[in-house]
Amino acid sequence: MASTSEIYTRFSSSSDNYYNIEDILASQEKVPVKTELPLYNLGFLNPSSDSEHILPGSKMELPFWLATGLCSRKRKIVSVELPKAYRVGYREIFTADPNVVDLHKTGPYFYSFGTKLLCFESNESDDISRSLLQTFVGRFRRIMDNSQNALNEDITKLMAKLDEMERSLFRAGQKSLMAFQEWETRKMTKLAASGMVTSHRKRKRAMMEEGD
């Protein structure tokens, strides 16, 4: 049976889309890395160093898309460390109460980026994938409740702590509620019109019977 991380990794690989803005932006998120081999003439990648070259053991942050290219199985040029938001300390906070965390501040593409991190096959991949799922499930109900109960209110504060995927769900929840209310209004209008027609017919029939 496939592990949770394997399922997430397959989903991430199959759903990558070069034309998807969210996917592109999530790939720009940075990951901490440590160089395993010297990188000549690439000192500009490490803003904390004035050296022309990057020496083995140097620590810096690189965009995810670049780190994946430098951390292949064939030649491991850098080793990747987990970003702070996905380490055990944060995972424990998510387990205790996922709703208290400001995911947008933690990372606006928290779920998308977290899923991408599973491709590095860390020893913590299973724990990360479970944490992502549990965090999403733990926050989902409140997100949908808020979206249904704040239709005519200022939603800025409600959406401030949501990551981009959660914001999309929030907007989808409000859109579906508005569609339902519009349908309900049309239905009530039709029922009222139908009732008026029925009453008119009954009165007309009664008048005709009295005339007979």
Percent of the chain with pLDDT over 70: 79
**DSSP label at 86?**
G
Neighbours of 78 (CB within 10 A): 25
Residues 6+ apart with CB under 8 A from 7: 129
More confident residue, 122 or 105: 105
Are 71 and 78 in contact by the 8 Å Cβ rule? The answer is yes
Per-residue confidence (pLDDT) for residue 16, from 0 to 100: 54
Paired tokens of 24:
């592109």
Are 116 and 63 in contact by the 8 Å Cβ rule? The answer is no
What's the mean pLDDT in 193-200? 59
Alpha helices (H) in the chain, listed in sequence order: 4-15, 21-27, 64-70, 88-96, 103-106, 110-117, 125-149, 156-159, 164-211
At the topology level, CATH places domain 4-140 in Methane Monooxygenase Hydroxylase; Chain G, domain 1 (1.20.58)
Per-residue confidence (pLDDT) for residue 11, from 0 to 100: 42
Mean pLDDT rounded to a whole number for the chain: 83
The pTM (predicted TM-score) of the whole model is 0.75
* Banded pLDDT at 209 (limits 50, 70, 90): low
Residues 9-43 have pLDDT tens digits of 444 444 456 678 888 999 999 999 999 998 888 88
Q: What is the DSSP string of 173-184?
A: HHHHHHHHHHHH
